[in-house]
Amino acid sequence: MSTVTPARPETAAGRRAPAAPGRWRRAGVLAAGAALAVAAVGLQTTGLDREARTAHLTWTGGVGDQVSASRFSARVKAVHVAKAVESAGLDGKVEQATTSGVFVIAEVEATANREPQKFGTPALLTGDGRRYAATDKVDASHTITNPFIQVGWWVGSVAVFEVPAAALPGSRLVLAPRNGFIGEALLPEVEIDLGFDEATAGRLISNAKDVYQLASKK
């Protein structure tokens, strides 16, 4: 008959019991935990759908209104429609952009509420749900994306769009800062109704300027 020898606890002569973790080891564990937390947040952000990642907090108004968002205020002074846009570079060379549709030129003014801002690319939202980015046929140095929007005074420039003539009714201008702030869940934007109903749009198209001349940059 075989016998079973009871297992004996290990003594100092056997495997040594693990020592309590030291200060540097504890710091390493905490750092690793923090890294995992950051990675988890990154995965959550990656998992957001495109609409959630580009969401905005929107303030609205009309032409002539001062529309104040959290970081800036803006207003549209006037809107023009033209068949071509002309601008001059620093060297004095005149360039003309043409289109098979129309150019919409919005005269815009803006001021920053707390610190200087830069606008991202303006957008034109149409009554049928389409979204047009500002045209690249006009150098950005002539538009509202070029200057820093300062605190304490209004900076004026234009936003220029190339769109089909049929897109004018119900269109709105959208302006938002180029970059978000840390901890800012929603990027602020203003959405300004340009006042184009069917009758107004038809009148502006009929009376569209042959050439709209942008202010020279010196």
Give 97's strand partners.
85
| Cβ atoms within 10 Å, residue 190 | 26
pLDDT digits (tens, 9 = 90+) for 83-111: 999 998 777 889 999 999 999 999 999 99
Average pLDDT over residues 6-13: 40
Rounded Cα gap, residues 183 and 54, in angstroms: 14
pLDDT digits (tens, 9 = 90+) for 26-72: 545 444 444 444 344 343 333 334 444 457 899 999 999 999 999 99
Compute the C-alpha angle 80/83/88, nearest 5°: 80
Q: What is the 3-state secondary structure (H, E, C) of 158-203?
A: EEEEEECHHHCCCCEEEECECCCCCCCCCEEEEEEECCCCHHHHHH
pLDDT digits (tens, 9 = 90+) for 68-90: 999 999 999 999 999 999 998 77
Specify the pLDDT at position 6.
42
Specify the pLDDT at position 186.
84
Which residue did the predictor score with more confidence, 152 or 89? 152
| Cβ atoms within 10 Å, residue 147 | 16
Reported in sequence order, the residue ranges of the chain that DSSP labels E, i.e. its strands, are 56-62, 67-68, 72-88, 94-112, 123-125, 131-133, 155-163, 172-175, 187-193, 212-213
For the chain, the straight-line distance linking the first and the last C-alpha, in angstroms and rounded, comes to: 107
Residues 6+ apart with CB under 8 A from 134: 121, 122, 123, 124, 143, 145, 159, 160, 161
Question: Would residue 106 be called left, alpha or beta, if left means φ above 0 and alpha means ψ between -120 and 50 degrees?
Answer: beta
Average pLDDT over residues 136-158: 96
Which residue did the predictor score with more confidence, 51 or 206? 206
Q: Would you state the structure tokens that stand for residue 69, as one six-digit string?
A: 């968002």
CB 172 within 8 A of CB 125: yes
Taking the CA atoms of 53, 61, 156 and 171 in sequence, report the sign of the dihedral they define: positive
